[in-house]
Amino acid sequence: MELFRERGYDETTVAGIAERAGLTERTFFRHFADKREVLFSGQEQLQAAFLDAVEAADLGVEPLAVAVGALEAAGPFFADRLEFARLRQGVIDAHPALQERELIKMASLAAALAAALRGRGAGEPAASLAAEHAISVFRVAFARWLEAPGPSDLVDQVRAAQAEIVAMLRDWSAEAEEASALGGEGRGRR
């Protein structure tokens, strides 16, 4: 992060990072698959936190509630890291190559969540839909947490975003029904 701030991402070489860390370029690539990966290595632990939360949830709770509930595990994970997260996101937002990495990380997070839900007995479109919905909520909540003027609670942002999105979807259902009548004529129903 020091170097990224001093010179920008593109102008920072892996050799430079390694030198600043007192290591060799070769060693850098033993710890990070990519130059980009250095900004995303925390994701594994976040994913682990989500999955643990799914494990810990009561059986019998709806997959959607489990998935969204698991997002609250992100609270402690990001506690006291607001400033770092803002900096990191600034770098990512300025570099398409990093956005690509972020997208695939989010997708793999959703996939892992869906797998965990399936492991708890959730059926198949439900698990994937719940997981993707949860990740959408998390994305919105996280962005708002970063943008908030003062420091806010990420968990509160998650709950607010979830409530808002669900309300939006509810408002939408009539409209969606209308679109279905117009476009698909029930072809895919069972």
Partner DNA sequence: AGGATTGATGTCAGCTTCTGACATCGACTG
Partner DNA sequence: CAGTCGATGTCAGAAGCTGACATCAATCCT
Please give the residue ranges that form the binding site for DNA (CB under 7 A). 12-15, 22-27, 29-31, 33-36
Rounded to 10 degrees, the C-alpha dihedral 76/147/12/32 comes to 30
Q: What is the DSSP string of 71-99?
A: GGGHHHHHTT-HHHHHHHHHHHHT-HHHH
Task: By CB under 8 A, name the one of 21, 87, 107, 143 that touches a second copy.
Answer: 107
CB nearer DNA, residue 41 or residue 86: 41
Of 6-14, 38-46, 86-94, 166-174, the window that binds a second copy (rule: CB under 8 A) is: 166-174
Hey, which residues between 64 and 93 contact a second copy (CB under 8 A)?
Answer: 64-65, 68-69
Residue 159 interacts with a second copy (CB under 8 A): yes or no: yes
Hey, which residues between 125 and 144 contact a second copy (CB under 8 A)?
Answer: 125, 129
Hey, which residues between 15 and 74 contact a second copy (CB under 8 A)?
Answer: 62, 64-65, 68-69
Give dist(CA 181, CA 190) in Å, integer. 15
Q: Which residues contact 139 (CB under 8 A, 6 or more apart)?
A: 106
Where on the chain is the footprint of a second copy (CB under 8 A)?
62, 64-65, 68-69, 96, 99-101, 103-104, 107, 125, 129, 159-170, 172-173, 175-180, 182-190
